[in-house]
Amino acid sequence: MSQPKRSSSEKSPRKAPAVVDVEAPADKVLPVKAAPVAAEPEPEDEDEDEVEEVLSETEPATDAELDLIEAEIGVRPAEPQAQAAPTTALVRRDPMGQYMAEVRRHPLLTREEEHALAVRWVEQGDAEAAKQLVTSNLRLVVKIAHEYKRAYQNLLDLVQEGNVGLIQAVKKFDPYRGVKLSTYSGWWIRAYILKFILNNWRLVKIGTTQNQRKLFFNLRKQVDRLKQAGVDPTPERIAAALDVSEAEVIEMDRRLSAPDMSLDAPLTGGGDEDDGRTRMDIIEDSSDDPEVEVESTEFKDILHAKLRRFGATLSGRELEIFRDRIVADEPITLQELGDRWGVSRERARQLEKRMVLRLREFLQAELGDAVQIALGHE
């Protein structure tokens, strides 16, 4: 890791990420508050007193807490290498148990030790100091990852993602802010863990936008709140409460209510007629009818030819209006047109209206009733 030097006089405050109340969908619950998930989570502004009050509760796990976590997840204590008797029998390897034993090797730092190491890292770029800051907080990653074990069963995967967040927090930590590293890094750890859960919840990613992430964590919770209040949890009410669109609520509810299905999976109706058929075979094609597409293409070709003929009859200002306003991919404004000619915007509008009337008469004579389609009045 490399870090630019910073003098001790630079004490720019570094905000913690905003608090978001989250909940796992369906029957899985995330029992903590966490930072918003992004490609690389960055701290956001929040009320300083409220953030520091919440963050003050974040502390690395003690040995006693690690014992409780090991007992709950069924980790077998790792035996010292010297005590292992030589054997040719196959022994089940417990990666989580070995990792927990490694974490215990790194003691917790006092507030003074942490501050001194952080200053060395920030001002001198001391990589060894940064390493000690990371290793002394590996316990915190295990503690936070354990809180999400009901949302994602592989605890070691969550620990690995949380370690990435811890490293990122150490890179951005400001020792002059007056906040402990464990307090600050807790938000980065949670953010990276949540990002991992979202990306791996389904084969098809489910939280690709801010509103989808909000619904992923809060949809079921909002439904329960409305039910407890005796209110029918309609998509309209949920959308208003979470500040999202009604269509997004319906779509997320549908995705959370059923697992992903392969379009290539064979149908299992039980009849002989389903042999070899897949879901792809029975999905309705929502595209236009081929005959309609051919008609539309032919009509556009005819229309473009008519417009070229009409443009050939124009000159001067009318040609500029036609070229830069009527058929341009990015039409200029009437004000820009007026400035070009040295006239007012209203005068430019009058000239355009007169030219459009000529165009309408021309298309009426050439296309008949189809002129309404040509002018966009279907």
Highest mean pLDDT among 31-35, 46-50, 234-238, 296-300: 234-238
Q: Residue 168: its pLDDT value, please?
A: 93
CA distance 247 to 250: 5
Q: Is the pLDDT of residue 1 over 60?
A: no
Question: Both tokens of residue 80?
Answer: 């010292």
74 within some domain: yes
184 within some domain: yes
359: pLDDT confidence band, cut at 50, 70 and 90? Answer: confident
CB 340 within 8 A of CB 351: no
Please count the structural domains in the chain: 2
Same domain, 188 and 321: no
Domain of 313, CATH number, reads 1.10.10.10
CA distance 304 to 321: 17
203: pLDDT confidence band, cut at 50, 70 and 90? Answer: confident
Q: Residue 14: its pLDDT value, please?
A: 43
6: pLDDT confidence band, cut at 50, 70 and 90? Answer: very low
142 within some domain: yes
Range of the domain at 74: 20-78+95-201
Same domain, 196 and 307: no
CB 151 within 8 A of CB 27: no
The pTM score is 0.53
Phi, psi of 367 (to 5 degrees): -110, -10
Question: Both tokens of residue 133?
Answer: 């800051």
CB 79 within 8 A of CB 98: no
Average pLDDT over residues 20-24: 40
CA distance 46 to 15: 7
Residues in the chain: 378
* Of 20, 17, 18, 30, nearest in space to 201 by CA: 30
* Of 340, 297, 298, nearest in space to 321 by CA: 340
pLDDT tens-digit series, residues 66-115: 888 878 777 665 555 545 555 555 556 678 888 888 888 898 888 899 99
pLDDT tens-digit series, residues 213-269: 888 888 888 999 999 999 899 999 999 999 999 999 998 888 888 777 778 888 776
